[in-house]
């Protein structure tokens, strides 16, 4: 989940120096610095590369802008003609600064800190590409996917290829684990979930496994609920990341026998801190730490999080471990 970000004063200072979010992503020395900041402060066991899922459409030729207080904005498109302008051959050259950041991090991170590379899943990236911005219902992408599923599939297939390329380059540069974020997977009804969330991730994982058999892949099909069981089995991924709404007791019975589970403290508990945060974190640890398990949040850290609460949570988890 998101480790760096606006809840840290040192992040805000570096972002100010970079002059914009995408500049920060594309300047290796600064992207390296903001990746290291939370590790220095809190000593997490793993570090996630600082970048964004939307660098992929940017590299394909669909200009992305991050506006202060507004989130990402893209020039939206909903037809095959516009899709034809996207250029798959640009991934490696356009995103070279991201791979350089990974290379630098694999040298500068403490040896015991795992480096996680990542990408958005095709469906989630497509919702931003088609809608032009974040939306509560992913309406624009759904409209295209339901009106002309075979056309929409062309976009998904292109994103599968782009994602394989982007993740392969991160692994070659030194990423030790990969996480695939499907933030909007849970908004799809079952048949579309199977086609546009499950199958693309299965293809990406199969391609990576063939090239890099030792690199585990974690997927985060947020909001998928009970569909996570079939998703875990069918994709064959190494670990599944659970959102805040998943019951740990259910996950122990239904998911953990299939492999490693990750999650899932509500990031808003980290805002509140105190006894409620501790009690809910301990419940998750007590329920899942008997099997393959990675403690994490159920979604990304929010800007109003007090850093002291993060420090308190890390201490609680690390003391539990020992």
Interacting residues toward ligand CP3 by CB under 6 A = 2-6, 15, 21, 48, 50-54, 66, 71-72, 118, 120, 124, 134, 181, 183, 300
Question: Residue 304 is encoded by which pair of tokens?
Answer: 């109003």
| CB closer to ligand CP3 out of 39 and 251 | 39
Q: Is 2 a catalytic residue?
A: yes
b vs e for 8-38, b when ≥16 Cβ sit within 10 Å of the residue's Cβ?
bebbeebbeebeebbebbbbbebbbbbbbbb
Q: Which member of 7, 11, 26, 52 is catalytic?
A: 52
* Residues paired with 72 in a beta bridge: 66
Question: Residue 265 is encoded by which pair of tokens?
Answer: 């403290």
Q: Is 252 a catalytic residue?
A: no
CB distance 300 to 2 below 8 Å: yes
CB distance 270 to 305 below 8 Å: yes
| CB closer to ligand CP3 out of 149 and 186 | 186
Nearest distance, CB of residue 50 and ligand CP3, angstroms: 5
Q: Is 12 a catalytic residue?
A: no
Nearest distance, CB of residue 204 and ligand CP3, angstroms: 15
Q: Is 6 a catalytic residue?
A: yes
Q: Is 182 a catalytic residue?
A: no
Nearest distance, CB of residue 267 and ligand CP3, angstroms: 10
> What Rg, from alpha-carbon coordinates, does the chain have?
19
* Residues paired with 262 in a beta bridge: 241, 294
Q: Which helix (H) or strand (E) holds 147?
A: helix 139-147
| CB closer to ligand CP3 out of 256 and 269 | 269
Q: Which member of 7, 11, 15, 231 is catalytic?
A: 15
Which residues are part of the catalytic machinery? 2, 6, 15, 52, 128
């Amino acid at each position: 989940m998101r480790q760096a970000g606006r809840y840290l004063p040192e992040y805000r200072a570096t972002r100010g120096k970079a002059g914009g979010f995408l500049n920060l992503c594309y300047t290796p020395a600064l992207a390296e610095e903001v990746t290291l900041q939370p590790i220095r402060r809190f000593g997490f066991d793993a570090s996630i590369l600082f970048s964004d899922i939307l660098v992929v459409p940017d590299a394909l030729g669909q200009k992305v802008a991050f506006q202060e207080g507004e989130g990402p904005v893209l020039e939206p498109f909903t037809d095959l003609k516009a899709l034809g302008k996207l250029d798959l051959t640009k991934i490696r050259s356009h995103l070279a600064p991201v791979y350089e950041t990974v290379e630098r991090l694999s040298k500068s991170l403490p040896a015991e800190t795992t480096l996680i590379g990542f990408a958005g899943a095709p469906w989630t990236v497509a919702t931003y590409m088609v809608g032009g911005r974040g939306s509560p219902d992913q309406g624009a992408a759904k409209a295209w996917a339901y009106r002309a599923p075979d056309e929409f599939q062309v976009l998904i297939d292109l994103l599968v290829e782009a994602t394989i390329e982007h993740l392969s380059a991160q692994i070659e540069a030194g990423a030790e684990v990969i996480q695939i974020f499907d933030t909007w997977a849970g908004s799809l009804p079952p048949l579309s979930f199977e086609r546009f969330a499950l199958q693309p991730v299965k293809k990406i994982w199969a391609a990576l496994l063939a090239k890099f058999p030792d690199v585990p892949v974690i997927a985060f099909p947020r909001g998928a609920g009970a569909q996570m069981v079939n998703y875990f089995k069918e994709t064959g991924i190494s670990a599944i990341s659970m959102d805040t709404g998943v019951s740990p007791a259910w996950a122990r019975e239904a998911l953990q026998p299939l492999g490693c589970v990750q999650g899932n403290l509500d990031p808003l508990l980290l805002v509140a801190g105190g006894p409620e945060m501790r009690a809910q974190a301990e419940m998750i640890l007590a329920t899942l730490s008997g099997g393959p398990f990675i403690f994490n949040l159920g979604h990304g850290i929010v800007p109003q999080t007090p850093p002291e609460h993060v420090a308190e949570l890390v201490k609680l988890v690390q003391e539990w471990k020992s």
